[in-house]
Amino acid sequence: MSLHCHHDRGTPARTSTQHVTLSIDGVPVTVPAGTSVMHAAAEAGIDIPKLCATEQLESFGSCRLCVVQVKNRRGYPASCTTLAEEGMEVTTENDALFRLRRGVMELYISDHPLDCLTCSANGNCELQDQAGRVGLREVRYADGQNHLQEATDTSNPYFAYDPSKCIVCSRCVRACSDIQGTYALTTTERGFDSRIAAAGGEDFMSSECVSCGACVAACPTAALMEKSVIEMGQPQRSVTTTCAYCGVGCSLNAELQGEKVIRMVPDLNGGANHGHACVKGRFAWGYATHADRITTPMIRSSIRDPWREVSWEEAIAHTASELRRLQEKYGAESIGSITSSRCSNEETYLVQKLTRAAFGVNNVDTCARVCHSPTGYGLKQTLGESAGTQDFDSVMQADVIMVIGANPTDGHPVFGSRMKQRLRQGAQLIVADPRAIDLVDTPHVRAAHHLKLLPGTNVALINALAHVVVTEGLVDEDFVVDRCEAEAFNKWRTFIADPRHSPEATASVTGVPADEVRAAARLYATGGNAAIYYGLGVTEHSQGSTMVMGIANLAMATGNIGRPGVGVNPLRGQNNVQGSCDMGSFPHELPGYRHVSDVATRELFESVWGVPLSDEPGLRIPNMFDAAIAGSFKGLYVQGEDIAQSDPNTGHVTRALESLECLVVQDLFLNETAKFAHVFLPGASFLEKDGTFTNAERRISRIRKVMRPLATYADWEVTQMLSNALGYPMNYSHPSEIMDEIARLTPTFHDVSYAKLDRLGSVQWPCNAEHPDGTPTMHVTEFVRGKGRFMLTEYVATEERVNRRFPLLLTTGRILSQYNVGAQTRRTANNAWHPEDILELHPVDAEDRGIRDGDWVGVQSRAGETVLRARISERMQPGVVYTTFHWPGSGANVVTTENSDWATNCPEYKVTAVQLSRVEQPSTWQKQFAQFSEEQMKLLKQEPAGAPV
Ligand code: SF4
Ligand code: SF4
Ligand code: SF4
Ligand code: FES
């Protein structure tokens, strides 16, 4: 039995507005021009046998199983490569066709193992199905040569390639090139010896393969097969859910035996991913049942004490009484919460509700503080809404794509693949990044311009680009007059036209030659639909918010907003960081980005929540840390966020955490923050609960429970129990009821419901009476704030400067195989690709310091010191070094400083002045960290001695 009820029509659907009518086996059918005969037949309900064709890929015509007869035409054309024509009369079944197909099948089968009963694809194999389809019941092995003895390639941790089962249909090769865009596979030789090979290596693992799994999904036999299926057998049921990793929000089908996940298959109907996934969502779900999961609540009175396992009742009662004790002793404002951008909308909503209604304070913040808070601020100021303007599909209509401070092929891989598809179709690419990211030069894609700016100079660059637009007459005057505030625009035009913003004047600051800037600006302004995609390389700066506004200015000035193919698109990092912000996780905003000082909004929430609400913005995360060190902030509830690893200036963070009297951590694992905690409440993975995530395109998608929570409760239930114990009643029986409350209280979510999500699959907010099915493109006829507002964006150099002591700039980023703090991916086989964080540096900087590839290198900044292994790389420019931050012991944040965005406090992770030197051993911090971690792990296993806590 196949779990895939979607019937594969064999070739991609066409969208032409011209139609042709033909007859297939006497059935008339009308299809868009360019549709294959095979696809047209499927539309008419006729299923033509096929092996090498699949709806996800352009046809290739190699197997010849799909032959048909066309009236008044000679021969037997392949229906997958023959286009439907007006008046065509097609026959799909007759004796001649039957014999031809059977002959084809016999050839395949005679060189194929006949162990169907024990084959891992049994019951889900297209070769088996098609053999039955053409009436082949008995086969003999052909005499002479065959491929049955060839060794299986098991080098990839997640899937195997068994050449004996390969029918050389090249679906994998096409999937890797057309869908994924990696071009890792080729067909070797010709004729009989033809087989699949992974390019650039001996086997899959050593090749260029990025383990996205597209080839495995495309393979019609067991030649490419998930190891989990080989080991455990075919899944029995399937539940559609949403990836819990990045902000792309891929829709995945969890295929199961009982409550056991056998594999994750990308959902063809997924609005964000259309059937594609990456190595994380597709394969790296094993953490969810990893032995490190903590499934019993624990408490202790001091972080030097062993943990004591307790019942849920005791843990909740203890937490509530501690938080109340702190409020009585130190004041109401002495406690607060941090919501999780990995948890669901409903859970995030409940944590902020708990904080505002049960704690009675606005001290709630979220990890977006450290990533995209400037996006929220900057886009709200200019466009009126704190979110990206497009859906991902929009990129397929872009003619010019500008990527600023983002690395989509690593950070947002499925969207990165889509962007590459569009670039291969001919869209032009501008990359603004200190480092040569993969997109700059990948198969069939080369950036028209790589603006290799120095870290920290974004605003100078965006101003220079805008200067060219304004001074070379490239402003879209009609758009500006029609859609934007005239006075603000005129002020901006005068400001930006000043010679100090010219490419020539700023070249010495940005390091980008003036003519490159001019050419890029002209391309962006005149190349057709131009879309900007940006990431943390824009936001995590002292001028992060200014840069976001600069981007919005540029898009408005050139009329690149308000239709498909254009727009301003933040690539948001975590799966639900958009959602956590939407749900009111910021200390100054109630759900839907409404300020706590707004009387009408507060009254609305007060009437539904039944308590008075504070009109004073609460503490942001960095303020919480400062207040903790100063002694006025004493209790913190952290759900699913590892601030000890992810926030800058680790030394400062750990001092703050050590100052707390009650740190409550709710998580899957004893993460770095939990090592400073007094209460540990076990969390539930995305597989263990119902809820919704909102991705970077504002798309709300369901997560669905596929197994019971390992620790009994889903996270929203735990928050609810805590609230009840604090005396503020919450009585939701299902997350859908929480969503109903969100919809009632939030205009942009007004028409969202689980019933609607089940019906539509997903929906992009705003979803209300005006847009009942959601909003793929925003600001279409007018901006959310009415008229678009140009903001002045003066470049101010960061205080973090290089000097003789710290002559290099360190910047940070992500890698494909690991995710964020790594708590999840480090507990999967993904470590095979990235077992440690590496420091990349340019050969010149390495030579100056006598550093060789693979050496240990001490990285000193004004904040601290850590040690990383060196990789010498031409991707870097001289003077700039780079690392990732997925391993806690790397201490990337020991060296990052406390500088932050002027408007939002988003830390300036992307610019740290450092010096490097060759060393022989870990840094002092790393040694202390290792020792502290070891002690904490012992306290986890040790039974407490003496009196109970
Ligand atoms: S897993 Fe992805 S990248 Fe690797 S060979 Fe298959 S399609 Fe290509
Ligand atoms: S590995 Fe699978 S998809 Fe690739 S050519 Fe062989 S049978 Fe076709
Ligand atoms: S691209 Fe992002 S959402 Fe999609 S599978 Fe990969 S990690 Fe998950
Ligand atoms: S399905 Fe048409 S040639 Fe293979």
Residue nearest to atom 6 of ligand 2 (CA): 166
Omega before 49 cis (within 30°)?
Answer: no
Distance from the CA of 121 to the center of ligand 2, in angstroms? Answer: 13
Distance from the CA of 11 to the center of ligand 4, in angstroms? Answer: 10
Position 852 scores a pLDDT of 93
Among candidates 810, 792, 840, which has minimal Cα distance to 540?
A: 810
* 238-276 pLDDT per residue, tens: 999 999 988 899 999 999 999 999 999 999 999 999 999
Which ligand 1 atom is at minimum distance from the Cα of 218?
7
How far from 283 is each of 111, 182, 227, 288, 341, CA to CA, in Å? Answer: 31, 18, 10, 12, 21
Residue type, 812: T
Ligand lying closest to the C-alpha of residue 201? 1
Cβ of 168 less than 6 Å from ligand 2:
yes
Cβ(662)–Cβ(326) below 8 Å: yes
How many of the other CB atoms lie within 10 Å of CB of 248? 32
Out of 158, 176, 417, mutate this one to test ligand 1's pocket (max ligand atoms within 8 Å of CB): namely 176
C-alpha count within 13 angstroms, C-beta hemisphere, residue 342: 22
Which ligand 3 atom is at minimum distance from the Cα of 415?
1
Distance from the CA of 25 to the center of ligand 4, in angstroms? Answer: 19
Structure tokens at 329: 């002793």
Residue nearest to atom 2 of ligand 2 (CA): 219
How far from 745 is each of 401, 541, 559, 585, 586, CA to CA, in Å? Answer: 37, 34, 34, 15, 17
* 193-236 pLDDT per residue, tens: 677 888 877 889 988 999 999 999 999 988 999 999 999 999 99
Residue nearest to atom 2 of ligand 3 (CA): 246
Cβ of 531 less than 6 Å from ligand 3:
no
Distance from the CA of 199 to the center of ligand 2, in angstroms? Answer: 15
Stretches in the chain below the pLDDT threshold 70: 1-6, 137-148, 189-193, 370, 815, 817-822, 942-949
Which ligand 4 atom is at minimum distance from the Cα of 169?
4
Distance from the CA of 419 to the center of ligand 1, in angstroms? Answer: 17
Residue nearest to atom 4 of ligand 2 (CA): 172
Cβ of 176 less than 6 Å from ligand 2:
no
C-alpha count within 13 angstroms, C-beta hemisphere, residue 384: 18
Cβ(141)–Cβ(188) below 8 Å: no
Ligand lying closest to the C-alpha of residue 248? 3
Position 656 scores a pLDDT of 94
Which ligand 1 atom is at minimum distance from the Cα of 216?
6
- Residue 116 carries which DSSP code? G
Residues 6+ apart with CB under 8 A from 243: 249, 250, 251, 252, 264, 277, 280, 281, 575
C-alpha count within 13 angstroms, C-beta hemisphere, residue 43: 20
Distance from the CA of 134 to the center of ligand 4, in angstroms? Answer: 14
Position 693 scores a pLDDT of 95
Rg, the chain, Cα only: 29
- DSSP for 684-713 reads --GGG--EEEE-TT-EEEEE---S--TTSS
Q: 192-213: string of b/e by CB count within 10 Å (b at 16+)?
A: eeebbbbbeeeebbebbbbbbb
Cβ of 48 less than 6 Å from ligand 4:
no
Q: Which residues pair with 147 in a beta bridge?
A: none
Which ligand 3 atom is at minimum distance from the Cα of 242?
3
Distance from the CA of 11 to the center of ligand 2, in angstroms? Answer: 17
Tell me the three state secondary structure of residue 350. Answer: helix
Burial of 387 (0-12, 13-18, 19+ CB in 10 A): buried
- DSSP for 130-198 reads HHHHTT-----PPSS--STTPPPB--SSSEEE-GGG-----HHHHIIIIII----EEEESSGGG-EEEE
Cβ of 224 less than 6 Å from ligand 2:
yes
Ligand lying closest to the C-alpha of residue 212? 1
Distance from the CA of 254 to the center of ligand 4, in angstroms? Answer: 30
Residues 733 and 434: their CA atoms lie apart, in Å, by 50
Q: How far is CA 424 from the centre of its chain?
A: 22
Ligand lying closest to the C-alpha of residue 152? 2
How far from 796 is each of 202, 503, 543, 800, CA to CA, in Å? Answer: 51, 16, 8, 11
Which ligand 2 atom is at minimum distance from the Cα of 52?
8
Cβ of 221 less than 6 Å from ligand 2:
yes
Cβ of 735 less than 6 Å from ligand 3:
no
How far from 312 is each of 97, 316, 331, 644, 812, CA to CA, in Å? Answer: 68, 6, 27, 25, 40
Cβ(492)–Cβ(549) below 8 Å: no
Give pTM, 2 decimals. Answer: 0.90
Residues 572 and 599: their CA atoms lie apart, in Å, by 31
Burial of 590 (0-12, 13-18, 19+ CB in 10 A): buried
Which ligand 1 atom is at minimum distance from the Cα of 210?
3
How much of the chain is helix, strand and coil, in % rounded to 5? 35, 20, 45
Which stretches of 331-372 are DSSP H helices? 345-353
Could you give the maximum distance between any two Cα atoms of the chain, in Å? 94
Tell me the three state secondary structure of residue 836. Answer: coil
